[in-house]
Structures are given as structure tokens and as C-alpha cells.
């Protein structure tokens, strides 16, 4: 168990698969349930006790900056990546000086979920064991996902350790875009260079320090415009409305 006080929202992606909705705005500023995806992510982090949050921005960075400023929260810092999109790993690497000395949360700017009995971020914080883990990912069962899931992302053993699917193997879990990472995972990574967090997942896999936690609520796959429309309809007609 850890005290979760620092976090980051990855809001710098190009959102190419969500076009034309992202032709004039970044994907994290698309609306769902009357609020932007970015606001949903920030709301969840703050509700979990996170008081220091970094939001990175690249595609329509001025719009992200305005959205962050509109919240009026001095604990939310903007990290602009105007000249070079650093990708997921490079963006987090650059933000490390603002993410504290211990494990921190990272939420994709397009991640949207409804919590189960205990909020997902609190469940992750309660399950994170710094002695055994470098990364703990929130997973979603592929059978619970509407839309394309491919061959899945991970398989998990009874202790929660993850591995990638082998050739011709189907994995039962998708990564849900919510995670807790240890700063030690970034040791030896290049500063100011683009790289994917997937590279660090593989680094943690080798010594058995990549773990997963299965989400016990509802998770929405938001890849294409039709996914957003289906999620809006589901919230309107099919799910209990929560504080989201």
C-alpha cells in the first residue's frame, strides 16, 4: 500500500483515430457525460487524494492549457511539448521532477471508467507493493469490452504478475490506461527523447515486476467517434449515474 499524492495525465496525443472530432481539438477535450475527458481524469485523481498533477500537451496545446487554467488549481502543472512529441514514456520522464520521490499515478487523457465499490485509483494504491512492483496496471477483461480488442495485451498469473501473449496466443486482458509507476522504472532512460511506456513495461516484465489489477467497474473503449457516441448513449440509458 502507498499514499498516492502525485500523478500525471497524458494529454499530448494526436488522437488520429478519433478524427474528424480531433481535427480542431485534442482528444482529451472531447465531451462525455457533459464534461471533457481531461476533467474526468483530473476529477478521479483529485478524488483519490492526488494533490500534485502534471498534464502534458502537444496537439492543440493552447486548448489544453486553457482547460487546465480554467480549473484554477495551483496543484495542476502544464507540461508543453510543442517542439517534440515525447510519447508516453518520454513525457513521463520529463515530468519526473514534479512527480515526487515515490510511486505515482499515470492516467491516459482519453481513459474513462466508472468505479466499482472502491475507486480504481484507490484500489491500485492499496495493491501497490514497492518491494515487488515497478508498475501496476489497471486491466480490463476483453470479454467486457465493446469494440476491437485484437489479441489482447496481457496474461496474468494468480499472483498478478503479467506477461505478453506469445505468437498465436490470445490474451484475456487489455490495459485500461490507468497505472501506478515507480520512479526506479525510468532509471537509464533518455531525457528529452521520445519513447513509449511499453518499453518500460517490457523492462519490468523481465524480473517479474510488472503487475496487473482487474477493474471491477465499467470501462469504456474510446478509440473512434462511434465509441464516444456509444459511451454517451450507455451513460444516458444503461448505467447508474455516479460522480463522474
DSSP per-residue letters across 4-67: --EEEEE-----GGGTTTTSSS-GGGSEETTEEHHHHHHHHHHHTT--EEEEEE-TTHHHHHHH
Task: Specify which residues 55 forms β-bridges with.
Answer: 9, 78
- Cα–chain center distance at 44: 11
Place of cell 495493491: 127
Residue 168's contacts (CB-CB under 8 Å, 6 or more residues apart) are none
Asked if 54 contacts 8 with a C-beta cutoff of 8 angstroms, the reply is yes
Cell numbers representing residue 105 in the block: 499515478
Amino acid 149: pLDDT: 60
As a whole number of angstroms, the distance between CA 200 and CA 186 comes to 7
As a whole number of angstroms, the distance between CA 180 and CA 92 comes to 12
Q: Which of 32, 196, 7 is nearest to 114 (CA)?
A: 32
Banded model confidence at residue 108, pLDDT cuts 50, 70, 90: very high
Residue 242 has pLDDT above 70, yes or no: no
Asked if 109 contacts 88 with a C-beta cutoff of 8 angstroms, the reply is no
pLDDT one-digit tens code per residue, 196-221: 999 999 999 999 999 999 999 999 98
pLDDT one-digit tens code per residue, 145-158: 766 666 788 999 99
Query: Could you tell me the domains of the chain?
Result: 6-237 (3.90.550.10)
Banded model confidence at residue 29, pLDDT cuts 50, 70, 90: very high
Neighbours of 164 (CB within 10 A): 16
Q: Which of 92, 98, 122 is nearest to 186 (CA)?
A: 92
Amino acid 147: pLDDT: 60
Amino acid at each position: 500500500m502507498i499514499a498516492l499524492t502525485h500523478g500525471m495525465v497524458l494529454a499530448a496525443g494526436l488522437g488520429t483515430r478519433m478524427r474528424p472530432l480531433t481535427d480542431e481539438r485534442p482528444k482529451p477535450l472531447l465531451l462525455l457525460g457533459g464534461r471533457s475527458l481531461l476533467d474526468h481524469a483530473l476529477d478521479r485523481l483529485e478524488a483519490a487524494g492526488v494533490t500534485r498533477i502534471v498534464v502534458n500537451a502537444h496537439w492543440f496545446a493552447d486548448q489544453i492549457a486553457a482547460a487546465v487554467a480554467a480549473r484554477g488549481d495551483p496543484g495542476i502543472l502544464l507540461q508543453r511539448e510543442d517542439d517534440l512529441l515525447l510519447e508516453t514514456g518520454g513525457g513521463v520522464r520529463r515530468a519526473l521532477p514534479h512527480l515526487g520521490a515515490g510511486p505515482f499515478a499515470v492516467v491516459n487523457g482519453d481513459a474513462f471508467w466508472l468505479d466499482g465499490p472502491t475507486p480504481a485509483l484507490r484500489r491500485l494504491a492499496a495493491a501497490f507493493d514497492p518491494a515487488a512492483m515497478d508498475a501496476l496496471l489497471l486491466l480490463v477483461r476483453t470479454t467486457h469490452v465493446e469494440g476491437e480488442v485484437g489479441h489482447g495485451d496481457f496474461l496474468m498469473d494468480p499472483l498478478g504478475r503479467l506477461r505478453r501473449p506469445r505468437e498465436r496466443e490470445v490474451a484475456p486482458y487489455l490495459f485500461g490506461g490507468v497505472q501506478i509507476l515507480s520512479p526506479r522504472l525510468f532509471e537509464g532512460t533518455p531525457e528529452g527523447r521520445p519513447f513509449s511506456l511499453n518499453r518500460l513495461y517490457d523492462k519490468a516484465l523481465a524480473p517479474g515486476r510488472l503487475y496487473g489489477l482487474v477493474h471491477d467497474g465499467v470501462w469504456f473503449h474510446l478509440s473512434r467517434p462511434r465509441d464516444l457516441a456509444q459511451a454517451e448513449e450507455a451513460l444516458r440509458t444503461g448505467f447508474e449515474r455516479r460522480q463522474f
